[in-house]
Amino acid sequence: MSRNISCVFVLAVAAGGAFAQDSTSANSDGGNGLPGDALSPWTAGVGQRASYVVDLSEVRSSWGTRFGAAPIVKASRVATTRFNAVPGPSTISSDARVGVAPFVTNYSTWNVPTAGVGPANATTLNTTVASPANVTRFAATMLDFDEQPVGAGLNFVNVVTTALVGFDAGAPDRLYVSRINTAVNAPTGGGDRSQFGLGSVDADGNVLLRADGFGASGTTNVLAGDNLIRVRAASRGTGLNLIDGGTGGDVAATNRVVSNSAALLAVPSALPASEGATRVVGADFVGSLLVEESAGVVQRSTHRPGTSDHRGSPSVSSASVFAGTSATGAMLTRGNGGGGLVNAISVFGLGSGGEIGPAFTLELPAGVLDACDNFAWPITGADFRLFDTQAIFRGGVGPAAVGKDLQGRGVVASTAYAAASPGSASPINAIVAATFDPQSPVGTAQWRTVAWVNAAGTDGKDILGDFGADGAPNTGDSGENDGAVNAGDAPIGRIESLANVPGGLLGPSLSAPALDSAGNVYFVASVALRKSSGMVISERRTIALLRGVPTQGGCYQLEVLLEQGQLVQGRNSGRTYAIAALSLSDGDSLASSSLWSQSVSGSSWNGGNTSSLPQSAPQHLGGLVLSARVLYDANNDGTFSDPTGVDGNPASADEAYGVMYYVGNTLPIAPGCNDIDFNNDGLFPDDNDLIDFLVVLAGGTCSTGNCDSIDFNNDGLFPDDNDLIAFLNKLAGQDC
């Protein structure tokens, strides 16, 4: 296992079209889009702390479900030939703080091109807004990598950046973001003194890292041994926080939880501070969990009964599966009945003091059926492999996901590899999930297949959408965009083996799974989607972010949330950007920059009770982050060309950035109707509101150009009859 993400990987990703805070630069050099406006990790002031508003753009899933999305943090700019560094893993806090003070009081905001917070922006175009007095707070963190020449060699720079985020539940599409330079591994112009692996972050901004000195190019104060480090991002100053073997850096905001250990350690997870104090939950390579209890870090093995060993990093969810516990953990393990295979997932409760509570182990069964299509994936001899290669040292966290469903049952999931195609680069995978009664987990566990690629690598599970009888969007055929996914809608595509996706990458076809508060499963996958070009419908093979929604019939139906090539209108930048790349494989395993179980919050949006909402409701999602690459049409000419990409135009003014991309809910927990002034002309109630509503409902254009969403009752389903009924009720002076 290599501890480093190889230089080949970093350069290949960076050259593939350069991988966005939502902004474009003033482009002061007058040439192509370089240098862009990403911030240097060594710049004082805004390079260390910057606070700004991010307004979420509406994106709709293939089912018509409405989410908000935006780049909330750009990776740092290290090299002069690229817009910024390559994102590694991203992680989000597993819970949120509701009704608390914001991280800071004032935030910069803009909604025009070239504005932004950095020295390459036209900052005179910014304005300052005050945060609401009380917000819901969460945090998200990204680790990025780049190379910088130092003398005759190369400096492999690591930067950890944290977003401390607040929002007003009454205006959920606006995020108040504080971008904090959390840690770096090298001084300005000097050799790297350490290497990082990203662990986790809690809602208070406590970031946990793994760090060692493996392969360091520096000769001064190189970090020794394996270290688990906590940085309190909210307490960071404006100076550099250099993590090395010396005593520099931001000492007031940083402490070594485990220092200079001779034992190999995995990237850590955490019990969040909302349970009393943030506590490390880590793992070593000899089967022990490292738990930070009141007296310090202790080794425990009671988390994995009925096993011979564990693998990878632990996951921790804020969902309390077991009565009397504060959180729940999960770990890939080698069950006693698996003949040495990593064939099991161990689940354990965690108390507020870090103590391990109830624990049990579920081994893969002899067979797992997909009840949606009666497909039996070849489970015999399969095992879990997402702990392989760099992930255990670099992140993400973790390969197994745990949580609860709407019925209060426990849910656990991970990605299996078929025995007929062994190794971490195999594309023959399935995400399998088990639901269980927490009072009798082993006896009640029911395994199901969430997603799969068949043994031959020639077919995969169907993906659904509201695109009508031909399964392709924007063809206007029967049933398209009628507000429901039904039997008349053909599948819009399928899971596809990564081996068949253009680009020639080797690796898995499915990322790790992640769970929201209702047990919906999120993952990145290689897919084949039906697209139309004129009268011709064909399959486009690409990478997409999917959601698996469990049905009452006992299977998971799949929808697309985002896909590579998708265009999004940036609300702050005033420019359209393309989602140029979503990460899946690094060439021999799941990429650290792909989605992992702790890329998705385990709590509901705003911490609310969503038990009465439909299974597919977006309010079950407390938030999701993933590393991505976005390409801005900076000069607004309708083309997207990265000047630093292999196939791009070196003279292009467009700008491409590696980012931490956020997807979240923008609807209230308890849906309510919009006001009756649908066309926002200031006159209501009047006939024009009704006319405009009916025109927009039929797919036409609003007369004022400023009509509200057609989802009038804000139930996340549109266009449908209930929106029309609710509108007519309100127009007649009745309740919604």
- Residues 244-275: tens digit of each pLDDT: 999 889 999 999 999 999 999 999 999 988 88
C-alpha atoms less than 13 angstroms from C-alpha of 140 in its C-beta half-sphere: 30
Q: At what angle do helices 721-731 and 687-697 cross, to 10 degrees?
A: 180
Strand order in the sheet with 344-350: 307-317, 327-335, 344-350, 356-363
Chain centre to alpha carbon of residue 722: 32
697: helix, coil or strand?
Answer: helix
* CA-CA-CA-CA dihedral for 106, 674, 721, 683, to nearest 10: -130
C-alpha torsion angle, residues 201, 205, 210, 211 (rounded to 10): 160
Query: CB neighbours (10 Å) of residue 228?
Result: 25
Contact 162, 180 (CB under 8 A): yes
Query: Does 537 score more than 60 pLDDT?
Result: yes
Q: Which amino acid is it at 99?
A: G
**Residue 574 near residue 113, CB atoms below 8 Å:** yes
* Three-class DSSP category at 256: strand
374: left (phi over 0), alpha (psi -120 to 50) or beta: left
Q: Which residues pair with 52 in a beta bridge?
A: 108, 177
- Residue corresponding to tokens 């991010």: 54
**Predicted pLDDT at 671:** 63
Cβ atoms 419, 381 nearer than 8 A: yes
Looking at residue 346, its amino acid is S
CA 180 to centroid of chain Cα atoms: 18
CB 143 within 8 A of CB 89: yes
Structure-block tokens of residue 441: 């987990």
Radius of gyration of the chain (CA): 24
d(CA 284, CA 398): 14
Q: How far apart are CA 708 and CA 724, in angstroms?
A: 13
Give residue 277's pLDDT. Answer: 82
**Model confidence at 464, in pLDDT bands (50, 70, 90)?**
very high
pLDDT, greater one: 421 or 8: 421
SS3 of 710, please?
Answer: coil
pLDDT tens across 336-393, in order?
A: 988 899 999 999 999 999 999 999 999 999 999 998 999 999 999 999 999 988 999 9
Model pLDDT, residue 278:
87
Dist. CA 442–CA 228, nearest whole Å = 33
Distance, in Å, from the CA atom of 169 to the CA atom of 517, rounded to the nearest integer, reads 18
Strand partners, 165: 138, 177
Q: What mean pLDDT, rounded, does the chain reach?
A: 91
- Beta-carbon count within 10 A of 130 CB: 11
Q: Give the pLDDT confidence score for residue 28 in this predicted structure.
A: 64
pTM value is: 0.90
**Structure tokens given for 353:** 């003091």
- Rounded distance between C-alpha atoms, residue 184 and residue 375, angstroms: 48
User: How much is the average pLDDT of 95-111?
Assistant: 95
pLDDT digits (tens, 9 = 90+) for 545-572: 999 999 988 899 999 999 999 999 999 9
Determine if the peptide bond prior to 305 is cis (ω within 30°). Answer: no
pLDDT in tens, 146-201: 988 777 678 899 999 999 999 999 999 999 999 999 999 999 888 999 999 999 99
pLDDT confidence of residue 149: 77
CA 329 to chain centroid, in Å, comes to 19
Report CA 271 to chain centroid distance, whole Å: 19
Check pLDDT > 50 for residue 696: yes
Of the two residues 274 and 499, the one the predictor is more confident about is 499
State residue 190's pLDDT score.
Answer: 87
Which pLDDT score is estimated for 725? Answer: 84
Q: How far apart are CA 603 and CA 327, in angstroms?
A: 11
Q: Where are the beta strands (DSSP E) in 478-565?
A: 493-495, 514-515, 521-533, 536-550, 556-563
